Amino acid sequence: MISLKNNVQLIGYLGKDPEVLRLSSGKTLAKISLATNEYYRNNQGEKVTNTSWHNCIAWGKTAQIMESLLKKGKEVAVRGKLNYSSYEDKNGIKRNLPQVIVTEFVLLR
């Protein structure tokens, strides 16, 4: 059974082609931006779409396969874990950036 601790599963559309980096250590890193949509009706009965963007990264063989298969606009399912990286913005304020570390993915369309 897959562990339920820190497990993220998303289905969405790629906002751009994967950004792939080959590090000096020999490791491969792929970064993708995944859009997920939720739909609801407002008080006037109009359909409203709420889009959320998710930063996802993958390492090694998974990153290499992402590079060869994924393109902007493709629908993909990802599974991984939630992680936070931190950085300091231009005003010196520490910010946390959530990202999904992808362990597996499936190209849907």
58 pLDDT above the threshold of 60: yes
Return the pLDDT at 1. 56
Residue matched to tokens 């993708």? 32
Mean pLDDT of 29-36: 97
Domains parsed from the chain with CATH numbers: 8-85+100-107 (2.40.50.140)
Mean pLDDT of 42-57: 95
Angstrom CA distances, 9 to 35, 43, 70, 99, stand at 13, 31, 17, 12
57 pLDDT above the threshold of 60: yes
Look up residue 85 and give its amino acid.
S
pTM value? Answer: 0.84
Q: Would you place residue 4 in the very low, low, confident or very high pLDDT band (cuts 50, 70, 90)?
A: confident
